[in-house]
Amino acid sequence: MTETRAAVLVESGRPAPYAESRPLEIAGLRLDPPGPGELLVRIGAAGLCHSDLSVINGSRPRPLPMALGHEAAGEVVETGPGTEFAPGDHIVLAFVPACGHCERCVGGRPALCGPGAQANGAGTLLGGGKRFVAADGTRPNHHLGVSAFSEYTVVSSRSAVKIDPDLPFDIAALFGCAVLTGAGAALYSAAVAPGDTVAVFGLGGVGLSAVLAAKAAGAATVYAVDLVQDKLDLAASLGAHPVPGGPDATDAIRDLTSGGAEKVIDTTGVVPVLEQAYAATRSGGTTVTVGLPAPGAPLTLPALSLVAEEKTLRGSYLGSCVPRRDVPRFIAMYRNGNLPVDALLTGSLPLDDINTGFDRLHTAEAVRQVITF
């Protein structure tokens, strides 16, 4: 048994400010030893992502109570039987455990792993179990197989990607969600090509990763859209062309690009913004969305334009990435200067301040904050 302190979401839908309503409680938990194919991990750093916020505010329902957090890097402390990892290995955690055997996994699309999605929906590890034990003997749910806002966690080795130990944990953590999702959306889902005009709606950790990757892929111009001036300024400093968000953003992009951008990526999770992104896509172009709106939120589009303008609309989960291929690939791009994702780091904070951190994400004043341990 390992003792840990973890941020546990006890109830969703409590009102902001979260520093007052305190939806995340810091609880002392015990952890069972890792089972077959599992790892006990000491978390080095864990990022605050909007997908955590969506569980906190109730727009993305999950089984509660839940030990939250899904973007992290850490060190393997102990291994269960049958893993390829060893104590001391540094790892990044991906938020979909890939079984390696299902039809989607063998087809090269592990982000869509069937057993992985089932375990994530049920709040268990890939093998079906729960490893946290609360003081009253109940078992909090796991968040996306990771539960990173905790000093220690147990994960399936299928969630883990080995990395070089010299990469600092706060940078490494970003690769687990923001960079896989945003860079993958640009490079794979949108297949940004040299000379493309690109627009990215929403400049959080995911959107700015998409901006950086689109530039790395040789995009002619990347238009970066947000409601928050600081986000526009940051995107501009990274080489994007800022466009203020709001009702006029579509027309602004259509004017700047003579009819729309070739690749448009929505990372807001706001359905009307996806509709704007589609309208800002030129004929023959592609709209990609990674945003995660509430499950029942409908989307309204002019259907004829799909055909008559040969537009493509596609969703992108985990950036359509293969984490064991792409975490090392994107880290290499970071190291050679082509993906400066350290620019996304707003700062680090202790676990006890996590509710305040989510206030800063809620008001969009922070890009990526990481909890460090």
Ligand X SMILES: NC(=O)c1ccc[n+]([C@@H]2O[C@H](COP(=O)([O-])OP(=O)(O)OC[C@H]3O[C@@H](n4cnc5c(N)ncnc54)[C@H](O)[C@@H]3O)[C@@H](O)[C@H]2O)c1
User: Per-residue x/- mask for ligand X, residues 48 to 87, rule CB under 6 A?
Assistant: -xxx--x---------------------------------
Residue 225 makes contact with ligand X by CB under 6 A: yes
Please confirm whether the linkage preceding 65 is cis (ω < 30° from 0).
yes
Residues 174-193 that bind Zn ion (CB under 5 A): 177
CB burial of residue 88 (10 Å; 0-12, 13-18, 19+)? exposed
Pick 152 or 278: Cβ nearer ligand X: 278
Residues 307-326 that bind ligand X (CB under 6 A): 316-318
Work out the number of other CB atoms within 10 angstroms of the CB of residue 86: 10
Residues 35-54 that bind Zn ion (CB under 5 A): 49, 51
Q: What are phi and psi of 100, to 5 degrees?
A: 85, -5
Work out the number of other CB atoms within 10 angstroms of the CB of residue 258: 8
Extended strands (E) in the chain: 2-9, 24-31, 38-47, 66-67, 71-79, 90-93, 132-133, 141-142, 152-156, 160-163, 197-201, 221-226, 241-244, 261-266, 281-289, 312-315, 345-349, 368-372
Pick 34 or 319: Cβ nearer ligand X: 319
- Contact of residue 105 among ligand X, Zn ion, none (CB under 5-8 Å per partner type): Zn ion
Residue 200 makes contact with ligand X by CB under 6 A: no
Residue 144 makes contact with ligand X by CB under 6 A: no
Q: Which of 122, 228, 252, 271 binds ligand X (CB under 6 A)?
A: 228
Chain positions contacting ligand X, by CB under 6 A: 49-51, 54, 177, 181, 201-207, 225-228, 231, 245, 267-270, 273, 290-292, 316-318, 361, 364
Chain positions contacting Zn ion, by CB under 5 A: 49, 51, 99, 102, 105, 113, 177
